[in-house]
A and B are shown apart, each in its own frame.
Chain A
Amino acid sequence: EDQVTQSPEALRLQEGESSSLNCSYTVSGLRGLFWYRQDPGKGPEFLFTLYSAGEEKEKERLKATLTKKESFLHITAPKPEDSATYLCAVQAPGSQGNLIFGKGTKLSVKP
């Protein structure tokens, strides 16, 4: 069964304290791994798509990496405005682009 597991469920950081979020997945034939950011009461905001192991993408303080079994979202020197829930999702093969979501990691960055 296709599955996505994110850890930790919640992460509290001090401003400037770098860390990583983990997304482990099992899917037969990965078509893409997606990272989204979701603020309370809002829809997910697209961050990155990764398609193959070894691929990396960066955006400001965020960097996403991908292996055959997991993806990491590295946050360098986070700021309070980076506080949000980060969602990981995989696209299953043979679908219409359906995404399988993990439960998310709630990140809190304190000043």
Chain B
Amino acid sequence: GAVVSQHPSWVICKSGTSVKIECRSLDFQATTMFWYRQFPKQSLMLMATSNEGSKATYEQGVEKDKFLINHASLTLSTLTVTSAHPEDSSFYICSARVAGVKSTQYFGPGTRLLVL
């Protein structure tokens, strides 16, 4: 149980285009989903937290107009990188958890984004 999927697993796009990444919880309903970014040889950096049906909460320094997050259902959240630039190239990872104090975050396999 507790499987989280991401799609696509990797994407290459041209500078200035937008890219959408999907995150799904396959066997549980996720009240909260998180989006992380990870640069090579570095740890995970939280970008934003989203609850189903609510606006996402962005971490300091993360542009909410550039990284659009939608959490339309209890099993799906999407991250759209708008007008992508080469500096947005990174490894994006989502995670999901159910409600409750003692609840575990389960991570997706990640999406590698390369902006040319």
Q: Which residues of A contact B (CB under 8 A)?
A: 31-32, 34, 36, 41-46, 49, 51, 87, 96-99, 101-104
Taking chain A's interface residues, is the majority helix, strand, or loop, or is none over half, making it mixed? loop
State whether A96 touches B43 (Cβ < 8 A): no
**Looking at the complex, which one of B6, B44, B51, B108 makes contact with A96 (CB distance below 8 Å)?**
B51
Q: Tell me, yes or no, whether B25 is within 8 Å of chain A by CB.
A: no
Q: Which residues of B contact A (CB under 8 A)?
A: 2, 4, 6, 32, 34, 42-44, 46, 49, 51, 57, 91, 93, 95, 97, 101-110, 112
Q: How far is the CA of A44 from the CA of B96 in the complex (A)?
A: 12
Given the interface contacts A44-B93, A97-B32, A101-B43, does A31 sit within 8 Å of B109 by beta carbon?
no
Q: Which residues of B contact A44 (CB under 8 A)?
A: 44, 93, 95, 107
Q: Which residues of A contact B57 (CB under 8 A)?
A: 96
Q: How far is the CA of A42 from the CA of B102 in the complex (A)?
A: 25
Q: How far is the CA of A22 from the CA of B42 in the complex (A)?
A: 17
State whether B110 touches A34 (Cβ < 8 A): no
User: In the assembled complex, how far is the CB of residue A109 from the closest CB belonging to chain B, in whole angstroms?
Assistant: 19
Q: Which residues of A contact B102 (CB under 8 A)?
A: 31-32, 49, 51
Most buried by B among A32, A41, A96: A96
25 example contacts (A-B, Cβ-Cβ < 8 A) are as follows A31-B102, A32-B102, A36-B107, A41-B110, A41-B112, A42-B109, A43-B4, A43-B109, A43-B110, A44-B44, A44-B93, A44-B107, A45-B107, A46-B2, A49-B102, A96-B32, A96-B51, A97-B34, A97-B97, A98-B34, A98-B46, A99-B34, A101-B43, A101-B44, A104-B43
